[in-house]
């Protein structure tokens, strides 16, 4: 993901890289580099690549400008069968055609994540997001049942309750008062993920200044910054710097919080396994509870370390991505009154004038709202790019690709392929009606990745987005305050607008 935004820095360090290569006692790195350079010569690439430094010096230094450069490059070179970029001595395949992406994502051999994911290890360990090989396969097989729809439906109550708090906050605003909804939605998503993942209320919406809430945000920023700065990659340097000490401080806060929650929950479950009360309240099933009960095929239970890395992973992956998606959707809905009217007509048909919460059966009936969410994710995928390692030599679109090459997959560009999405910049939720989706390439739309390593939490995400967006649109009319051009997406760990999402709300009459 974030590795692309550190690539231009490698160009500045090309001299150091060259010295390291030449200083190697066995010249294997240099031999490997020359071999890849020759093997990949037939693949079309960005012009101006030089030995050792590659294209690194051609990249923009600003993250927003760099993301725009990537997107402009994919638009200009969409006709190419395959594309490559050399960043220093490191080759990258840039994939944004469905046929090429399918070769990588559908192959169980290419499951390893790229180098940049190692910077998530101190926080997330080697959980489902970052693990590889047999550990990932065993963990995925074991955790998949915990994301079954019948289990996820137990989380609906939490989603509805936290959305009620969001609505109360929005109702305190003056009608027509412009405000940045990004923080509102993100705090709501954080409250939802904490209670569903850990069974712990953190009251982020009413206490955004809490140490834990601030550490979740800060850690994401710290990781992104480190991914973009190769001089911060060596641990022995990083740990001595101010950034490294801040990283250690935030890590201690995050791990202490989740470790304490796991310990308390485990003690409660072992002392009162049949109790349905929790400190005076009805005990809700949380993701953590299921992990505490989960066992491997040999009957061995997960260790507390295993459980912590999965809870931390779910926390990290489960709030920022859904929050971004809901924010982009609100902008698009607020920019297209005809779509908003169609969504509200569907809501009226399902809920009438009732103020009841969204139920399981309601979710199935909100078909047009689901199309709106999918189209929002097409235009603004929460994860705009991610990277895999090519784990064995293969052929992609007729070109040989050697082992060890990084494949950068760009959903943001893929979703704009006019072969599958005519007028790709137009917001047209009808694209995802069953009759219009029929025959579309299965890898033309991958907001949750695809293949064996697709997002295990996509049902959870869709459920949460339906609940939050449906509830907002039952209470308010939404008007966007920005044009598409003013948003300026920044493609970092997730796709964020540079200056937030500004909207106006108008209370709806019952």
Binding residues for heme, by number, are 455
Q: Are 268 and 289 in contact (CB under 8 A)?
A: no
Annotated binding site: 455
Choose among 491, 502, 500, 504: nearest CA to 7. Answer: 491
DSSP 277-289: EETTEEPPP-HHH
Show Cβ contacts of residue 236 under 8 Å, excluding neighbours closer than 6 positions: none
d(CA 357, CA 277): 23
Cα-only R_g, the chain? 23
Q: Are 408 and 104 in contact (CB under 8 A)?
A: no
* Dihedral over Cα of 290, 293, 299, 305: its sign: positive
d(CA 90, CA 182): 36
d(CA 352, CA 507): 16
Q: Tokens 């784990």, residue?
A: 391
Neighbours of 497 (CB within 10 A): 20
d(CA 302, CA 415): 38
Burial 409-432 (b: 16+ CB within 10 A, else e): bbbbbbbbbeebbeebeebbbebb
Q: Are 115 and 406 in contact (CB under 8 A)?
A: yes
Which residues make beta-bridge pairs with 505?
Answer: 478
Which of the 8 DSSP states describes residue 443?
A: T
- Strand, coil or helix: what is 80? coil
Q: Token digits for 323?
A: 């929050």
Burial 177-201 (b: 16+ CB within 10 A, else e): eebebbbbbbbbbbbbbbbbbbbbe
């Amino acid at each position: 993901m974030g590795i692309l935004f550190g690539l231009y820095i490698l160009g500045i360090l090309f001299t150091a890289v060259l010295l390291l290569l030449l200083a190697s006692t066995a010249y294997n790195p240099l031999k490997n580099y020359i071999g890849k350079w020759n093997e990949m010569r037939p693949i079309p690439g960005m012009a101006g690549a030089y030995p050792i430094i590659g294209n690194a010096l051609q990249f923009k230094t600003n993250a927003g400008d760099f993301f725009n450069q990537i997107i402009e490059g994919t638009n200009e070179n969409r006709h190419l069968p395959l594309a490559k970029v050399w960043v220093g001595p490191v080759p990258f395949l840039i994939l944004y055609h469905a046929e090429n992406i399918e070769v990588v994502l559908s192959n169980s051999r290419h499951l390893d994540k790229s180098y940049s994911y190692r910077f998530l290890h101190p926080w997330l360990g080697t959980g489902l997001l970052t693990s590889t090989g047999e550990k990932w396969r065993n963990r995925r097989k074991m955790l998949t049942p915990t994301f079954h729809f019948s289990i996820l439906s137990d989380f609906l109550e939490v989603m509805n309750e936290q959305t009620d708090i969001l609505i109360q906050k929005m109702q305190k605003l003056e009608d027509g008062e412009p405000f940045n909804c990004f923080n509102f939605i993100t705090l709501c998503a954080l409250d939802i993920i904490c209670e569903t993942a850990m069974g712990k209320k953190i009251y982020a919406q009413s206490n955004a200044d809490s140490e834990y809430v601030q550490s979740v945000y800060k850690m994401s920023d710290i990781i992104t910054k480190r991914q973009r700065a190769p001089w911060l990659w060596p641990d022995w340097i990083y740990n001595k710097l101010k950034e490294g000490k801040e990283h250690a401080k935030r890590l201690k806060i995050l791990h202490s919080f989740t470790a304490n929650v796991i310990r308390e929950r485990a003690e409660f479950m072992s002392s009162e396994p049949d109790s349905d009360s929790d400190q005076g309240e009805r005990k809700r099933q949380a993701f953590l509870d299921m992990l505490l009960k989960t066992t491997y095929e040999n009957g061995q239970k997960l260790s507390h370390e295993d459980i912590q890395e999965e809870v931390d992973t779910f926390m990290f992956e489960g709030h920022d991505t859904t929050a971004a998606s809901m924010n982009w959707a609100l902008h698009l809905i607020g920019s297209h009154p005809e779509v908003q009217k169609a969504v509200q007509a569907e809501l009226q048909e399902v809920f009438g004038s009732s103020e009841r919460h969204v139920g399981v059966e309601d979710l199935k009936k909100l078909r047009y709202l689901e199309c709106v969410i999918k189209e929002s994710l097409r235009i603004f995928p929460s994860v705009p790019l991610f990277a895999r390692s090519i784990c064995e030599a293969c052929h992609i679109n007729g070109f040989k690709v050697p082992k060890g090459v990084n494949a950068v997959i760009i959903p943001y560009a893929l979703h704009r392929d006019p072969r599958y999405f005519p007028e790709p910049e137009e917001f047209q939720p009808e694209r995802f009606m069953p009759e219009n989706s029929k025959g579309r390439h299965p890898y033309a739309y991958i907001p949750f990745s695809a293949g064996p390593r697709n997002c295990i939490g996509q049902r959870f995400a869709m459920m949460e987005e339906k609940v939050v967006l449906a509830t907002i649109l039952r209470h308010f009319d939404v008007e966007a305050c920005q044009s598409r051009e003013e948003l300026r997406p920044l493609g970092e760990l997730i796709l964020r607008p540079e200056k937030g999402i500004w909207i106006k709300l108008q209370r709806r009459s019952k």
